[in-house]
Structure formats: C-alpha cells, structure tokens
Structure 1
Amino acid sequence: MPDPLLFPVPPSIETPRLLLRSFRVEDAPVLHEALTESIVELRRHLGFLSWVAEEQTLQSAEVRCRKAEANFLLRTDLPFLAFKKGSGRLIGSMGLHRTDWTLPKTELGYWLRSGETGKGFASEGVIALTTWALNVFGAQRVELITDEQNLGSRAVAERCGFGLEGIMHNVMRAPDGSLRNSCVYARLPSAA
C-alpha cells in the first residue's frame, strides 16, 4: 500500500444531485447553520460524538472545519460536506473514517440536516463514497455502523447494499445516559 499522504483522494466527488467536497474554513457559517437546525436529531443518535455533544457556535463550526481540512490533508480522516447542486445548499456531511490503510478498510459515516432527510440524498452520497472506496481506494471492507434505534440510517445501509453483520450490545450511551446498541453493516468488494 502506498503512503497514505501520497494517495490521490479527490477533493470532491459528484453525484447526479450532490457535490461532496472536502471541508474549508470558510464553510463554518453554513456548517453552523445546518448543525443548529439539526442538533436535536443529531443528538438523538450521535450524542456520543464530542462535536455533536458540544454547544454549537460559529467558533466551534470553524474549529470543526479547520480540523476536518487538516485531517483530510493528512489522510487521518476523509470528511466531505454535501452540497445540493444548483442551489449550493449544505445538506450534511459524509465521509470515510477510521481508515486502516494497511488492510485496507474504512468506515462510512454521514448525517443530513433535518430539512433534507427522506429525499434520497443519504443513499446517493453513501453509494458514491462506497463505490470510490471499493473501486479506487481498493477497500476490502467498508463498514457502516449505526445506532440500532436509528431506523433511517439502517434503511440507508440496506438500500445501499450493506449487509447486517451483527448487533453490538451496550456499546454507547444515549443522551439520557441509557446504554444503546449499534448495528454493524458492511460491504465487501464481491458485493460491489
């Protein structure tokens, strides 16, 4: 496997309706707006993530953008912002996370702003990133891990050809402190 820093990860990927583009610091205002609109829903299923749990401010959005931009360049994380073509509206974020460059494998994660769910954008972006990961990056495994109670994300995984491999019990805490389960989905090259 080549040095990850030299691997040609595209700064943007297009789908019929979306532009997936790496973060830039100047995206902070639109990111803040999308997060503020969606934070209640995000905390319901992703409250265990530090950036979701923290207070949402313009400054925290700027920090998130700077970290995402740096991580992308260093290839320690490959996050993209998802913009609707035509309007340029930020509708969420999708990315390849916890990548093991030696296997290689990666985990696909995403969130959509509350006003853009149910329109097929998540599936469109997930298919684009999965296709890139399997066919260009050469991933031998793409995982998608979601809260067992997040029926929307589970439906996206299944629509995009991910198979449920199992349920991990008591692996995260909900915002109310209760223990939650995670569903582990995966796609392999043979399923591409």
Structure 2
Amino acid sequence: MQFDNYRIRLLKNTDLEAYYGMVSKNRKRLEDFFTGTTSRTQTFEDTKVFLAEMLERVNKREYYPYLIEDINTNTIAGFLDLKNVDWKIPKTEMGLYIDEDYADKGVSSKAFKLFCDYCFDTHGFKKLFLRTHPQNYPARKIAEKAGFKNEGTIRCDYKTTSGDLIDLVYYGKLSNE
C-alpha cells in the first residue's frame, strides 16, 4: 500500500536494526501506552527475540505488525499493528504509533485510513477496534477521521508502565460503514 511518499508493509526480519532504532528513539513517548513494545525492546538482543516472536505470530494468523516507511529516505516513519485477532467474528484491535519526526504532519491519519480499508479488503475483518486513553486527543481524532465510532469508556481497563490503572475509550468501525 502506498500514499504520498509512504509505503505500508509487513515487518520483516531485515527491519531489525531500523525497528530497534525507531523504538529506542521514541521510547519515552511510547512507554506508557505501548508497554509490551517498550519492555520487550530494551536491548538489541531483546528486540531480535521480540521481532522473531512477532513474525511467528504472523504465521499463526494471531498478530500482524506493519511499518509505515518513508520511501524517499527508507526510514521507518511509524508502526501499525493488528492484535487481539478474533477470526470467529472476524475482528481485530488496531494499534498505531508514529516516529516523533513524522508526528503532526498528517502521515498518521492518511496511513490509518488506508490501512483500515486494507484490513477490511485483504484480511476480511468485519470489525476493527481500538482503545485509547481519554486524553489521547490525537489518537481519538485519527480514529474519528477514519470513521470509527466511540463505543464507550471502560473504566480501569489498562495498566501503564508506571503502574497506574486508567480508563480506555473504545472505538469501533464495521466493514459496511
């Protein structure tokens, strides 16, 4: 998938160094809401194991990690993933984070909308959903621009890296919307 000067593609083993570099550079921004990623990528070796596990889960159709890549520089601009896949429905939870150098430039919104269409068309999901902190206004705006509907707030639904229990706002989008 391509838009503007960006490509969205599945993460590969050969992305290890670039992926580790991007997460390391953005660790402080990511640590509260991407606890799995930040805790599993503390060192290059940790990241190597984590990446291998992610790719094994792709083979099992349990998890799908994608990169947003800047075509001009071959730099990772962001990360999209599909987690909590439930093939019985079929539905999946979406995640997104963007490198600080690409934040506030519209890349996230365009990538997310295109990726939603891809998830419905290619994977055949009937529902996409995401969860975010009530004060994460950029994520909420991206979801709403992509046609997601606020389905409610679940209280004390997530533990941050610092151990705080926080509420999460749930958003959902159906394939026929």
TM-score by length of structure 1 reads 0.84
Q: Deviations over 1:52-73 (max 9, x none)?
A: 2346221122222212222222
Q: Deviations over 1:133-182 (max 9, x none)?
A: 22333322110111222221111111111111101111112333222111
Q: How many residues align?
A: 177
Q: Deviations over 1:81-132 (max 9, x none)?
A: 2111221111121022211112111111111112211111211221122102
What amino acid does structure 2 have at the position aligned with 1:17? N
Output the CA distance in 2 between the equivalents of 1:78 and 1:176: 27
Query: Which residue of structure 2 lines up, in the alignment, with residue 88 of structure 1?
Result: 74
Output the CA distance in 2 between the equivalents of 1:114 and 1:178: 24
Query: Which residue of structure 1 lines up, in the alignment, with residue 119 of structure 2?
Result: 133
2:5 to 14, 17, 27: 17
Call closer, same or farther: CA 1:82–1:157 in 2, change over 3 Å: same
Are 2:7 and 1:26 equivalent residues in the alignment? no
Conserved? CA contact 2:23–2:41, under 8 Å: no
Query: Which residue of structure 1 lines up, in the alignment, with residue 104 of structure 2?
Result: 118
What amino acid does structure 2 have at the position aligned with 1:103? I
Call closer, same or farther: CA 1:20–1:109 in 2, change over 3 Å: same
What amino acid does structure 1 have at the position aligned with 2:152? G
TM-score by length of structure 2 reads 0.91
Alignment of 1:32-181 (within 5 A): 32-46=20-34, 49-54=35-40, 56-181=42-167
Structure 1: stretches of 5+ with no match in the other structure: 1-12
- Over the aligned positions, Cα root-mean-square deviation in angstroms equals 1.7
Sequence identity of aligned pairs in percent? 21
Q: Deviations over 1:39-63 (max 9, x none)?
A: 11101333xx333234622112222
Q: Deviations over 1:23-45 (max 9, x none)?
A: 22221111111111111110133
Structure 2: stretches of 5+ with no match in the other structure: none
Out of 54-63 and 94-103, give the one that drifted further. 54-63
What amino acid does structure 2 have at the position aligned with 1:121? V
What amino acid does structure 1 have at the position aligned with 2:18? V
The 4+ residue runs of structure 1 with deviation greater than 4 A are: none
What amino acid does structure 1 have at the position aligned with 2:65? P
Conserved? CA contact 1:24–1:66, under 8 Å: no
Conserved? CA contact 1:25–1:66, under 8 Å: yes
Conserved? CA contact 1:35–1:56, under 8 Å: no
Conserved? CA contact 2:40–2:50, under 8 Å: no
